[in-house]
Amino acid sequence: MLSTETQAILTNFFQWAALLFIVAVGIAVFAVVFIYLSDKFQTKHAVKRNYPVIGRFRYYFEHLGEFFRQYFFAMDREELPFNRAQRSWVYRASKNIDNTIAFGSTRDTKKVGNVLFVNCPYPTLKKDAVSPKSITVGEDCPNPWITNSFFGISAMSFGALSEPAVKALSKGAAKAGTWLNTGEGGLSPHHLTGEADIIFQIGTAKYGVRDEDGNLDDNKLKSVAGHKQVKLIELKLAQGAKPGKGGILPGEKVTAEIAAIRGIKSGVDSISPNRHPEIANDDELLDMINHIREVTGKPVGFKTVIGSPENLEALILTIKNRGKEAAPDFITLDSSDGGTGAAPMTLMDDMGLTIRETLPMLIDALVRHDLRARIKVFVSGKLVNPADVAWALCVGADFCNNARGFMFALGCIQSLQCNKNTCPTGVTTHNKKLQRGLVVTEKSERVAHYAKNMMHAVGVIAHSCGVKEPRALNRSHARIVTDNGFSLPINELYTRSN
């Protein structure tokens, strides 16, 4: 039996609990009624007006769909911009775990545009395989760059990416023996952390090498190029996701540190011009390239998206007329289906040509005008899996850049939050609480594994085609499915296209 005092305490407790429950229910009922009336009589949202209270769940589930569609609603090969099969290969490669599959491919091999590689009846044995051959960029420069790597990290700036993300990429690139492109946001101490080879990109706003008026500052340029890790200078003309528009970094992501590195004001939207004001034609482009090369002593090239064969032909003719010594040391070709953290949908969806069309166009133009040996070619644009990279090498690229694959290696789940400061994996946010999830030591290993396993897997394709190393691949080693269901060798298909 409970004492009278204990019974009184319990009675009092239950009375208060009942009272609080009634109050809570009352508040909840009042809130529902208030929301119901607010939705019913507001005039901005038809769904909420027709379905008060319940209609609000539409927006909630729409938001959650960004995070869960890849798990519950999409088939392995149907999601965009990257499907589950593509991401799964990257995740497993970055974790350095088995990447084999069972029971057959889920890929529709008959789909128009699919690339099929030509297996050799007598593939290359392991004992006959060799390392990728070294390539020299800027042979006539005081400081040429020599590398045998063919797959590296594409342009992603500190600002678009978080501090731990940049550090992990830098350390991972060094471990894999490949390169890291700074993107247009300037050279930060975080890029230098891992001592990887660096491609320093100069965007239209000249971040990191600009004076107070936004013009190129030669002294700052010399300082940046003075770092031994900086191997190449890349002048950015256009980016795949937004050709014709400069870079965009929302003000909430422009921290004091980022502002200091870029030479801009903190907390204010960082919007680059849509082109370099001092470059209005091909001759002025070559003038700028040669000026930067003279100031830095490093190989210099440019990044662009091709919009028409006529513009490309005019540029190549200008280079030829100026002489090989005035030519860029490399061209980085980006694809119109490239990615970014922030760009107008109109440009991202509808502007420019993809590398499927422009890479053979560029290679053929350089060969036609006897400039192929002088100008090396980087290519980027959704090259996240081995077949993508092998195709680019077959067509004639010297180097393949990739950004979003390395973001997956860092832990990106394609939640489409890049243009906000809310990335749930810490890759593209400057929120310290969210950054905590990205551990540099762990993710740098994954970055290195992804790069190494990519180059190994491309080697497997090369050996199956009967050549000894990936850079020996050529256009006879791949075919493309056409609209009649049959495939054509890409050397024949691209010749027809030209």
Average pLDDT value for residue range 195-204: 96
Among residues 93, 179, 154, which one has the least CA distance to residue 335?
154
- Average pLDDT (314-322) is 96
In this structure, of 9-13, 260-264, 275-279, 394-398, the range with the lowest mean pLDDT score is 9-13
DSSP string, 253-277: G--HHHHHHHTS-TTS-EE--SS-T
Q: How confident is the model at residue 201 (pLDDT cuts 50, 70, 90)?
A: very high
Give the pLDDT score at 20: 85
Angle between helices 355-368 and 490-497 (to 10 degrees): 80
| Among 74, 76, 102, 72, residue whose Cα is nearest residue 88 | 76
Kindly report whether the peptide bond that precedes residue 470 is cis, defined as omega within 30 degrees of 0.
Answer: no
CB hemisphere CA count around 272 (13 angstroms): 33
pLDDT at residue number 217: 95
Select the highest-mean-pLDDT range: 21-25, 95-99, 209-213. 209-213
Report the mean per-residue pLDDT for the chain: 86
d(CA 345, CA 203): 21
- Tokens 């195709």, located at residue: 391
380-408: per-residue pLDDT in tens? 988 989 999 999 999 999 999 999 899 88
Banded pLDDT at 434 (limits 50, 70, 90): confident
The separation between CA 261 and the C-alpha centre of its own chain, rounded to angstroms, equals: 21
pLDDT score of 83 more than 80? no
Region label for 396, one of left (φ > 0), alpha (ψ between -120 and 50) or beta (otherwise): left
All domains in the chain, ordered by first residue: 4-84 (no CATH), 126-497 (3.20.20.70)
The pTM of the full predicted model, rounded to 2 decimals, is 0.82
Q: Provide CB contacts within 8 A for 353, sequence distance 6+.
A: 305, 306, 307, 308, 335, 336
DSSP conformation class of 100:
-
Q: Which of 53-57, 62-66, 318-322 has the lowest mean pLDDT?
A: 62-66
Chain segment 141-159, per-residue pLDDT in tens? 999 999 999 999 999 998 8
Tell me the DSSP string of 418-471.
TTTT--TTSSS---HHHHTT--HHHHHHHHHHHHHHHHHHHHHHHHHTT-SSGG
CA pair distance 152, 388, nearest whole angstrom: 14
Question: In the prediction, which pLDDT does 62 show?
Answer: 56
In this prediction, residues 175-187 reach a mean pLDDT of 95
By the 8 A CB rule, do 400 and 393 touch? yes
β-pair type (135-137, 145-147): antiparallel
Phi, psi for residue 249 in degrees, rounded to 5: -130, 110
Residue 374 contacts residue 324 (beta carbons within 8 Å): yes
Percentages helix, strand, coil for the chain (3-state, rounded to 5) are 45, 10, 45
